[in-house]
Amino acid sequence: MLDDFFIRALLAGIGIALITGPLGCFVIWRRLSFFAGTLAHSAFLGVTMAVIFEISIAFSVFIISSVIAIMLLKLQKGTKLPSDALLGLLAHSSLAVGLVVVGFLTSIRFDIMGLLFGDILAVNQIDLLFIWIGGALILLILKLIWKPLFASTVNHELAEAEGMKPDTMNAIFTILMAAIIAISIKIVGLLLITGMLIIPAAAARNISNNPQQMIMLSILGGLMSVLIGLFSSLEFNTASGPSIITAALILFCLTLINFRKYSDLKK
Amino acid sequence: MSKAKNKVLLKVENVGLLKSDKWLVRGVSLEVKQGEIVTLIGPNGSGKSTTAKIALGIHKKIDGKVQKFTDKIGYVPQKISIDWTLPIRVIDFMLLTEKLTNDQINVALNLTGVDHLKNKSLSNLSGGEFQRVLIARAIAKKPDLLVLDEPVQGVDFKGEIALYELIKKISEELSCGILLISHDLHVVMSATDFVVCLNGHVCCSGTPQAVAKNDQYQELFGDRASKILSLYEHKHDHTHAQDGTIKRKNN
């Protein structure tokens, strides 16, 4: 039963998995999963802004996420609070402000559940365009800056000493994070984007021994999660985001089993 | 010096770094030329690594001026914290900042004696093995300027001498400039072209021969200077207050 909306959802999901695969690896390597979560939470505020100003959701989310990222940097330099406290502060206050603003928008019907957990029905042609053009752009940038970005992920000082410009790479990477959250919010939902970023990458880590391999396996895991998740979402009438993440979790558990067997073999 | 006409690769002029109202180093000047080994010596906390990091541009908010006349720089840091959750093999690490052919990687790993570790995970290496990989990585790209911060730490005694010989050989073959930080007095005196003794500032500097005749050097190393493999005690004619000001000893 492949309706139009379902093909659109599949195309959207595949596009997102292709981007979250490599980005998710960097999120794990750089220990940024809480940061990704904060950006995703702030996306709620971005969506309400999009409704108020009648602009594209993806564009608005991208702007708000970037602003939150910049605010985090300023707060890290300007206060003595630890990063995790600042991340929590930004995540929950932006979510709260977003919800308060939604309260004032009584005239507009607002699908909060779809926003939080993803809604395959909501994916339209423009979203697809955003995902595939934006995704291609993100992957292209990632490919271009792979060496310096990876070098600064491995060791900041070494990268700085040998001309890899780690500070610039960090800034570009933050922008890419904001972008992926903006374009994947409709399909995965803002509460689960972090899961889409880190679970396939975490599964890939269990079964890989070099960075390229981990990225490939992470993409593969993401694609499988999307396919399994979306088909079961259609079958069991569950929200698309949770279905995809649950599929990813099952894959993660499978890699754990394989991993154990492999280490038994070595004994 | 015969090499004086060679090209200057690194020029550090009167640099200082202020951190939390304390000068980590101050008023340090040095120059590294092509084919020359410049060694920084000094006690713990004297600012050797800090000076190297200033020269490399890792510390940015500094006093003074640093000029680099090359982009091909190889760096072996004193401490390196790599997140061992990263799936990274020796060969991936070799390619970290440079495109290298398989041959170049093999040659470099062979020189430091760790070619058999090429496909091993970095996280499985011992401290000494990792140190050899770090050196191999820095020399593989044939840099113009090498900055080596305690490059043989954790390497066994036999390997240590071999690696120092290798460093000397590299500086001659590649005619690159080397900024070396070392505790080992015998290396300082035998293989180095220029010695800078640091203790928050430049205490004394010059060619090894000149430094050997220097009063401050005599005070620094005393009769131990001849026992080249012995540990040295670091003595100066002055002490440093907490804020970095210099107090002369009354003797």
User: What CATH number should be reported for the domain holding residue B220?
Assistant: 3.40.50.300
| B97 interfaces chain A, CB cutoff of 8 Å | yes
Q: Note whether A89 and A38 are within 8 A (CB).
A: no
Indicate yes or no: CB of B87 within 8 angstroms of CB of A214.
yes
* A153, A155, A211 member nearest B87 (Cβ): A211
Exposure pattern of A31-42 as b/e (b: 16+ CB <10 Å)? ebbebbbbbbbb
Indicate yes or no: CB of A158 within 8 angstroms of CB of B93.
no
β-pairing, B63-68 vs B8-19, is antiparallel
Sign of CA dihedral A141, A147, A148, A149: positive
pLDDT one-digit tens code per residue, B86-138:
899 999 999 999 899 999 999 999 988 899 999 999 988 888 889 999 999 99
The three-state secondary structure class of A151 is helix
In angstroms, the first-to-last Cα distance of chain B is: 36
Instruction: Calculate how close chain A gets to B190, using CA atoms only, in Å.
Output: 28
Domain annotation covers residue B199 = yes
- Angstrom distance (rounded) from CA A245 to CA A91: 21
Check residue B250 and give its pLDDT.
53
| Side chain identity, residue B143 | P
Q: What is the largest CA-CA distance in chain A?
A: 66
Number of domain units in chain B: 1
pLDDT one-digit tens code per residue, A173-196:
999 999 998 888 877 888 788 999
Torsion of Cα atoms, A22 then A24 then A30 then A35, to 10°: 140
Instruction: Calculate how close chain B gets to A50, using CA atoms only, in Å.
Output: 38
The domain locations on chain A are 4-260
pLDDT one-digit tens code per residue, A10-42:
999 999 999 999 999 999 999 888 999 999 889
Burial of A67 from C-beta contacts in 10 A (0-12 / 13-18 / 19+): middle
Contacts of B147 in chain A (CB under 8 A): 161
Indicate yes or no: CB of B75 within 8 angstroms of CB of A29.
no
Instruction: Calculate how close chain A gets to B37, using CA atoms only, in Å.
Output: 19
What mean pLDDT, rounded, does chain A reach? 87
Instruction: Calculate how close chain B gets to A155, using CA atoms only, in Å.
Output: 6
State how far the alpha carbon of B163 is from the alpha carbons of B26, B133, B134, B153, B160, in Å: 31, 12, 12, 11, 5
| A205 interfaces chain B, CB cutoff of 8 Å | yes
Domain annotation covers residue B78 = no
Indicate yes or no: CB of A160 within 8 angstroms of CB of B77.
no
Indicate yes or no: CB of A161 within 8 angstroms of CB of B71.
no
Domain annotation covers residue B50 = yes
Give the phi and the psi of residue A217 in degrees, each rounded to 5. -65, -35
Percentage of chain B surpassing pLDDT 90?
A: 32
The contacts of residue A166 (CB under 8 Å, 6+ apart) are: A148, A151, A152, A156, A159, A160
- Angstrom distance (rounded) from CA B38 to CA B27: 17
β-pairing, B202-206 vs B177-181, is unpaired
- The mean per-residue pLDDT over the stretch A138-150 comes to 95
CATH value of A4-260 in 3.30.2020.30, 1.20.1740.10, 3.40.50.150, 1.10.3470.10: 1.10.3470.10
Domain annotation covers residue B240 = yes
Domain annotation covers residue B237 = yes
| A28 interfaces chain B, CB cutoff of 8 Å | yes
pLDDT one-digit tens code per residue, B183-200:
766 666 677 888 888 888
Query: ipTM of this complex > 0.95?
Result: no
Q: From A162, A173, A139, select the one nearest A28 (Cα to Cα).
A: A173
- Angstrom distance (rounded) from CA A190 to CA A188: 7
